[in-house]
Amino acid sequence: MSFIRPEAQVIVARWRDVIIGGVMMACALVIGAGAAGLVWIMAALLFLLGAGLAVTGWQRARIASRGGAGVAPGLVELDERQLSYLAGEGGAIVVLSEVNRIEIEIAPPPEGAVAGDMIWVFRRMGHPPARIPADALGADRLIDALAGFSGASYENVIRASRSPAPEQGKAHFLIWQRPLPTAPLVRPTLH
């Protein structure tokens, strides 16, 4: 039996990392306020860890859920830079180093539904796009997978998660794209 309402549990779980990071920073300030030397250094490290946890938790908490984990079919796993989407139909295994582009699609809602489907699309050369529903079990690992992509737009993930479903067609949000290779600079040789 729980004394906390289920709605409050969901909110606390969503903001858990921000709360823990804030507590860590507060403890670090209390410990480091009158300390010197090694204790002050440890308090500063604790503060930085708490700040890092709070910032990443803030980004993760701002991503709105469209239906809840486990609503869509399938299971998402992330292991050693390999993303696996295990489903009865349309599963995929994606080696993250092969990805050229990451997008999010918002599809119109099916008849009687409130929100449209949010689909992560991982594009690779020579392979069909891997399409992973954002509401599959373990889909929160997709955010973890973005950590390996320098310049990934977390703001576009947040914008996509909060966008209304389009009436027709699909809305597309670019999350990351591999930079185009540049030709090496050829310098003229002087004779």
Q: What is the pLDDT of residues 3-31, one digit of tens each?
A: 888 888 878 888 889 999 999 999 999 99
Check residue 121 and give its pLDDT: 92
Task: Give 130's strand partners.
Answer: 122
183 within some domain = no
Quick one: 56 and 111 in the same domain?
no
Quick one: 42 and 109 in the same domain?
no
Q: Please give the tally of structural domains in the chain.
A: 2
Check residue 176 and give its pLDDT: 93
Quick one: 89 and 172 in the same domain?
yes
Check residue 101 and give its pLDDT: 93
Which DSSP state fits 123? E
Q: How far apart are CA 12 and CA 70, in angstroms?
A: 19
66 within some domain = no
Quick one: 79 and 57 in the same domain?
no
53 within some domain = yes
pLDDT tens-digit map of 82-133: 999 998 877 889 999 999 999 999 887 665 555 567 889 999 998 999 998 8
Quick one: 144 and 80 in the same domain?
yes
Closest CA to 160 of 113, 114, 104, 108: 104
Asked whether 76 and 159 are in contact (CB, 8 A), the reply is no
145 within some domain = yes
Phi and psi dihedrals of 69, rounded to 5?
Answer: -65, 140
DSSP, collapsed to helix, strand or coil, labels residue 93 as: strand
Check residue 42 and give its pLDDT: 93
Which residue range forms the structural domain that includes residue 57?
Answer: 6-61
What is each CA distance from 189 to 183, 186, in whole angstroms? 18, 9
pLDDT tens-digit map of 37-93: 899 999 999 999 999 999 988 888 877 665 555 567 888 999 888 999 998 877 889
pTM: predicted TM-score of the whole model, two decimal places: 0.71
CA-CA-CA-CA torsion sign (136, 140, 141, 147): positive
Mean pLDDT, rounded, for 176-182: 82
Which of the residue ranges 56-60, 127-131, 144-148, 162-166 would you say has the lowest mean pLDDT?
162-166
